[in-house]
Structure 1
Amino acid sequence: MAEISLQSLVPHAEGPVASLYLVAPPAGGRTAVLKVYPQPLDRRTYNAVEAEQARLAGLRTASSVVLVDSLDDLPDGRTGLRTEFCPQSLPGLVAEGPLPIGDVVILGQILASVLSDAHEIGLVHGGITPANVLERASGQPALSDFGVALRLRFPRDLMGDAAYTAPEVLRNGELSEQADVYGLGAVLQLALTARSPFPARTGETADDVVLRVLREPVPPVSGRDVPSALTSLLQRMMAKEPADRPEAAEVVRELEALIQAPDPASDDDLDFDDFRDELASARITPASAPPTPLAKPVRKPSRKWKKPSKSVVIVAAAVVSLLAVVPVMMQPGHQRSAPKASPPASVPPVPAPTQPSVAPAVQLELKPPKDNGTSVLLEWTSSKPLIFAVYLAEQGGKGAQTTYRGRGTSMTVKVTPGLKYCFEVQGTDATAIYVSKPQPIRGATCDN
């Protein structure tokens, strides 16, 4: 635990239980955020936070989580959690109106994937609100304030975020996987409509909002530009009874299906790159007060959370077809040749897509892997935001395997000590597939 001086802190924001400060970076460093709690952490809470963060760092989707870099002591005895600085949060993103539908679906898929992975190992977020959905300087979304240890040590007043809080949490403080799903559904409804599921009415108190959350069904999102499958999913995610909500893994599957397929109730495909944002103001909920009319329809540009078009969804589906350019273990001096092995039986063959074009302007580079014995840290850079797939090939193994698919630019891969591996990153921008130079560890020879 490091000690930090008060003079180095710049006030940034006040949260319900903690104060946020910006920490000026050292030469060549990055700006950080210090979340300072009103009292020191006791040993039990400190150990619990460390354990939560270690488990979060091991998630496949850890790149979409704002992790704690360190716990710092202040001279006045308070404790701060140091994290990366994310310049934007969801409330700021929706300040000018609803987000494009495609962005909302991609955002939901990213956050639900994090929750699914965390729930699988017994971790609960415990307080998903719009303020905890951040956008990094790179433009990618991430989920912050993950874990229950600090929530138990410093309970917050739920009144301010009642509209995003599951009924059972308001009743008895129960933090659970089902409550996480409810919070995610409420956050996505805000992204889709620019209003909370239970906006305060004129003359209403915070207690009145709580009563509506406990008693009234969540008004469905309407508007003919909203896929019926998305409306239905949000309704189930915010069901009053926890048992009626889908698990996070099911939310991931349904959002991915929505990404890859047209809405059954519509004659048109859901176009994530050119959808009809002039209809955004029609996404109203019947039980809510109508939004302030816009002077004219506003077309809101899509963010960087772009979904590949149908022609490039093959990056996820046609893994077998792409293995021809995945790193292959070879003996020194062996010439590159097409792989003769047939696809694994568990992966059905996929018709070969039209040969994608490769734009030289996009530079995708996989850095030399950092071998830690039982794990390898992979980091890569791209001159353009892409959706990435990471492959590894193990010497003596059954061929290349997909270990990651998403928008992050780093991950940790578990490996077997003593074995040789090759790694490769592929990316797509919905028009082409870009391939990095493969990188070896432990003397492996990779096909270029």
Structure 2
Amino acid sequence: MGTAMVTSDEDPVPLATGPVAEVYASGTRVLKVFPGPLDRRTRARLEQEIAAWQGVPATAAVDGVEEMRDGRVVVRAELCPDSLVGRVRREGVLEADDVVDVAGRLGRALAAAHAAGLVHGGVTPGNVLFRASGEPVLADGGLVLRGAFPAEPSAGFAAPETVGDAVRDARTDLYGLGAVLFFACTGRAPYPARLGERPDEHVLRVLAEPVPEVDRPDVPASVREMVRTLLAKDPGDRVLADHRARVPVAEAKPEPKAEHGRLGLVVGIATALGLFAAAPFLLLRDTPPPPSPAAPTMGAAGIDRVEVSDGTDHVRLTWRGTPAGLVYLVVTAPEGRPLTKSAELSEPALDIPVEPGLRYCFEVQGTDGKQVYVSAPTGIRGATCAR
């Protein structure tokens, strides 16, 4: 890591860069490095919360909290070799028996947490891990770090009240469990973003559309009904078979909602020299586009061999640029989210944080100061991209 730890470790190996933390492997543990320090009171609350989670079954163990020498907070936890997102991506949807196992173990974990007055706050497929034994566990439980380092919730997996009002409580945890099981059964979010859909339109669908059904006859009817119940719009209708009594609610204070930029289809891109042209349309499509006419000079001739290595929550993008010495920008188009562009790059490679289960398109642009070159758009997770 760039700044030494206060305590000594085996050389940490980078694993991923998430929406908030950088994740490293160190021996049998994982180190999650957050972007800033915690004040004394927040640090004390975090340590109390971690201690309370130690008694919750089927959760990834957390050893404690440390600091980098520059003050950034580090959480040390159990390293699990696999995740639900990774398994579904490699092998497809879970078998019915595995869905039942995940439902039972995670349901009992949440029942125990809620009975103890704890809230996970981020039950998503990305936080369901598998130990070497194959046992599924919940990771990253708690509200303290989520309050200290807030991140925008995913409309595809978050409860309607989380998306609309930033509420995180025991009932939103139950919705998250329903979304996790829906993903395990189908390989997609309950409310995936539609191609070309603006973020505000996506949110409105989450708030208004009927609860989706799990169309898997091999999955027991009781589990399918459980998923339907957990995805209920009314938080009071979400119950687990393990605790039909009223779910205790330990609410978090609403987090400030990030401003959504208007999702345009045209990608604007410019360097300090003003040499990059506005990118053409970069779209996510359900079906392959019709054949395109031959690209003009300002096309993909100068940038090719674009390759994307898809990790759990990040991708590695590499390409070849000709002539040598080009300055690059990378345009990222997440499904149903605002388009983004990278900073200027001198090397033909970039690591990009991504959200599990979401489809993406990428486009590389480069210039030598006289000519602008644009790669063919490249997609992941089944996205078909067109300019």
Q: Same fold (TM over 0.5)?
A: yes
The reply to whether residue 42 of structure 1 matches residue 71 of structure 2 is no
Whole-Å Cα distance in 1 between the matches of residues 244 and 18 of structure 2?
A: 29
Offset of 1:17 from its aligned partner? Answer: 1.0
The reply to whether residue 190 of structure 1 matches residue 180 of structure 2 is no
Q: Is the CA contact 1:6–1:75 (under 8 Å) kept in the aligned structure 2?
A: no
Whole-Å Cα distance in 2 between the matches of residues 224 and 41 of structure 1?
A: 49
Offset of 1:238 from its aligned partner? Answer: 0.5
Equivalent position of 2:382 in the other structure: none
TM-score, normalising length: structure 1: 0.51
Equivalent position of 1:72 in the other structure: 66
Equivalent position of 2:172 in the other structure: 179
Match for 2:99: what amino acid? Answer: V
Whole-Å Cα distance in 1 between the matches of residues 168 and 202 of structure 2?
A: 20
Match for 2:45: what amino acid? Answer: A
SS at match of 1:249: coil
| Corresponding residue to 2:207 among 191, 210, 214 | 214
Whole-Å Cα distance in 2 between the matches of residues 86 and 206 of structure 1?
A: 33
| Matched ranges for 1:278-427 at <5 A | none
Whose Rg is larger?
Answer: 1
Equivalent position of 2:219 in the other structure: 226
Counterparts in 2 of 1:7 and 1:87: CA distance versus 1, 3 Å: closer
Offset of 1:205 from its aligned partner? Answer: 3.4
SS at match of 2:155: helix
The reply to whether residue 22 of structure 1 matches residue 16 of structure 2 is no
The reply to whether residue 112 of structure 1 matches residue 119 of structure 2 is no
Offset of 1:132 from its aligned partner? Answer: 0.4
The reply to whether residue 165 of structure 1 matches residue 168 of structure 2 is no
Instruction: Name stretches of at least 5 consecutive residues in structure 1 with no aligned partner.
Output: 26-30, 253-288, 291-448
- How big is each residue's C-alpha offset from its partner over 1:362-412, in whole Å with a ceiling of 9 and x where there is no partner? xxxxxxxxxxxxxxxxxxxxxxxxxxxxxxxxxxxxxxxxxxxxxxxxxxx
Match for 2:18: what amino acid? Answer: G
Match for 2:145: what amino acid? Answer: L
SS at match of 2:14: strand
Whole-Å Cα distance in 2 between the matches of residues 224 and 57 of structure 1?
A: 37
Match for 2:218: what amino acid? Answer: D
Paired positions, count: 242
Whole-Å Cα distance in 1 between the matches of residues 200 and 96 of structure 2?
A: 32
Whole-Å Cα distance in 2 between the matches of residues 168 and 76 of structure 1?
A: 37
Equivalent position of 2:85 in the other structure: 91
Offset of 1:213 from its aligned partner? Answer: 1.0
- How big is each residue's C-alpha offset from its partner over 1:199-247, in whole Å with a ceiling of 9 and x where there is no partner? 2222223333222111112211114323333222211100011011114
Equivalent position of 1:256 in the other structure: none
Counterparts in 2 of 1:250 and 1:7: CA distance versus 1, 3 Å: closer
Whole-Å Cα distance in 1 between the matches of residues 244 and 98 of structure 2?
A: 16
Counterparts in 2 of 1:127 and 1:79: CA distance versus 1, 3 Å: same
TM-score, normalising length: structure 2: 0.59
Whole-Å Cα distance in 2 between the matches of residues 81 and 125 of structure 1?
A: 16
Counterparts in 2 of 1:247 and 1:9: CA distance versus 1, 3 Å: same
The reply to whether residue 56 of structure 1 matches residue 56 of structure 2 is no
Whole-Å Cα distance in 2 between the matches of residues 100 and 191 of structure 1?
A: 9
Match for 1:13: what amino acid? Answer: A
Whole-Å Cα distance in 2 between the matches of residues 132 and 239 of structure 1?
A: 21
Counterparts in 2 of 1:79 and 1:248: CA distance versus 1, 3 Å: farther
Q: Is the CA contact 1:115–1:248 (under 8 Å) kept in the aligned structure 2?
A: no
SS at match of 2:242: helix
SS at match of 2:66: strand
Whole-Å Cα distance in 2 between the matches of residues 206 and 15 of structure 1?
A: 20
Q: Is the CA contact 2:156–2:192 (under 8 Å) kept in the aligned structure 1?
A: yes
Equivalent position of 2:143 in the other structure: 148
Q: Is the CA contact 1:34–1:82 (under 8 Å) kept in the aligned structure 2?
A: yes
Match for 2:62: what amino acid? Answer: V
Counterparts in 2 of 1:78 and 1:248: CA distance versus 1, 3 Å: farther
Counterparts in 2 of 1:124 and 1:53: CA distance versus 1, 3 Å: same
The reply to whether residue 134 of structure 1 matches residue 137 of structure 2 is no
Aligned sequence identity (%): 46
| Farther-moved stretch of structure 1 (86-95 vs 3-12) | 3-12
Offset of 1:74 from its aligned partner? Answer: 1.0
Q: Is the CA contact 1:178–1:247 (under 8 Å) kept in the aligned structure 2?
A: no
Compute the RMSD of aligned alpha carbons.
2.2
Equivalent position of 2:332 in the other structure: none
Counterparts in 2 of 1:146 and 1:22: CA distance versus 1, 3 Å: same
Match for 1:185: what amino acid? Answer: G
Match for 2:86: what amino acid? Answer: G
Offset of 1:100 from its aligned partner? Answer: 0.6
- How big is each residue's C-alpha offset from its partner over 1:98-142, in whole Å with a ceiling of 9 and x where there is no partner? 101111111111011011011111111011011100011222111
Equivalent position of 1:363 in the other structure: none
| Corresponding residue to 1:10 among 10, 13, 25 | 13
- How big is each residue's C-alpha offset from its partner over 1:323-345, in whole Å with a ceiling of 9 and x where there is no partner? xxxxxxxxxxxxxxxxxxxxxxx
Q: Is the CA contact 2:13–2:24 (under 8 Å) kept in the aligned structure 1?
A: yes
Counterparts in 2 of 1:77 and 1:6: CA distance versus 1, 3 Å: farther
| Structure with more relative contact order (C-alpha pairs < 8 Å, separation 6 or more) | 2
